[in-house]
A = this chain, B = another copy of it.
Amino acid sequence: MTMYSVHPVAGLPEFRAGDDLPVILSDHLATGDPGLAPGDILVVTQKIVSKAEGRMFDLACVDVSDEARKLAGITLKEPALVELVLRESSAVVRAVPNVLITRHRLGHVMANAGIDASNLGKGGENRVLLLPEDPDSSARRIAEPCQDRTGVLPGVVISDSFGRPWRIGTTNVAIGTAGPPAVIDERGKPDRDGRIMQVTQIAFADSVAAAAGLAMGEGPEGLPACVVRGLEWQPGYQTSSDLLRPPGEDLFR
């Protein structure tokens, strides 16, 4: 084990629908700090990916179904928001006043299907931002121009901040990955004394996202990307879906 470091990427512009985020980001990394070095993992927040991919919706323009209207009555949430949550979800996990937890179509169990209304730019009072259509694809699309422009093919993680059952506060997790392992499986390996380790699967990409969150911050001073440098990892073909426990295997309920 050696030390590693986490470098925020400062100076990126505000992103709008249609912006070529992969090119803008890779150009930015090609010309300034922190650059890209072999083995780097570039962590990008969901928010700028979604903005560039045009995932902003105006609540005033959403047709609200009867189902959404009913659920809005239960959760005391805006009917148009609930409609978008339902469109983005495969199942409702919990709906009580002020709480709407669903299983997102990507498989994540989360509040409000990850739909966000903060830091959307001026005039965005009525607008909300959905998760990217396919964050694993987004991650791959970000990695490729980086290689063209910097000579380094980085790992890429798309992060989002998630609440947790039983614990207060959000941590960042990986909703998209390209390159780094999502989960490192140590099951069946011997421990230090030669016994077989029983339950050791390490959520590598989620831990990288959490580490990145500390460098990027939230709120007005938050930055939307950072570079994690010095970790040991082997590129592979896992994606963020490898982090998802199949519904029938949920151990906690």
The tally of residues in A whose CB lies under 8 Å from a CB in B reads: 80
Cβ-neighbour of A190 out of B168, B198, B220 (below 8 A): B220
Cβ-neighbour of A203 out of B4, B164, B192, B217 (below 8 A): B164
Most buried by B among A8, A184, A253: A253
The segment out of A22-30, A48-56, A58-66, A117-125 that lies at the interface is A117-125
User: In the bound complex, what is the Cα–Cα distance between A245 and B164 (angstroms)?
Assistant: 9
Residue on B nearest A8 in the bound complex, by CB: B1
Proximity bits, A162-200, B CB within 8 Å = 1, else 0: 011111111111000000001110100111110101111
Identical chains in the assembly: 2
Inter-chain contact A192/B219, CB cutoff 8 Å? yes
Inter-chain contact B169/A197, CB cutoff 8 Å? no
A67 beta carbon closer than 8 Å to chain B: no
Inter-chain contact B101/A214, CB cutoff 8 Å? no
Proximity bits, A186-228, B CB within 8 Å = 1, else 0: 1001111101011111111011101101111111111100000
A10 beta carbon closer than 8 Å to chain B: yes
A12 beta carbon closer than 8 Å to chain B: no
Enumerate chain B residues within 8 angstroms of A124, measured Cβ to Cβ.
Answer: 193
Cβ-neighbour of A207 out of B108, B204, B213 (below 8 A): B213
A35 beta carbon closer than 8 Å to chain B: no
A143 beta carbon closer than 8 Å to chain B: no
A225 to nearest B CB, angstroms?
11
User: In the bound complex, what is the Cα–Cα distance between A169 and B202 (angstroms)?
Assistant: 5
A105 beta carbon closer than 8 Å to chain B: no
Inter-chain contact A119/B191, CB cutoff 8 Å? yes
User: In the bound complex, what is the Cα–Cα distance between A7 and B5 (angstroms)?
Assistant: 9
Inter-chain contact A201/B6, CB cutoff 8 Å? no
Residue on B nearest A219 in the bound complex, by CB: B186
Inter-chain contact A1/B166, CB cutoff 8 Å? no
Inter-chain contact A167/B173, CB cutoff 8 Å? yes
Residue on B nearest A186 in the bound complex, by CB: B219
Q: Which 5 A-B pairs have the closest CB atoms?
A: A169-B203, A211-B211, A165-B252, A210-B210, A5-B5
Q: Can you identify 9 A-B contacts, CB atoms within 8 angstroms?
A: A3-B5, A101-B251, A109-B166, A118-B197, A118-B200, A163-B199, A163-B251, A169-B182, A170-B199
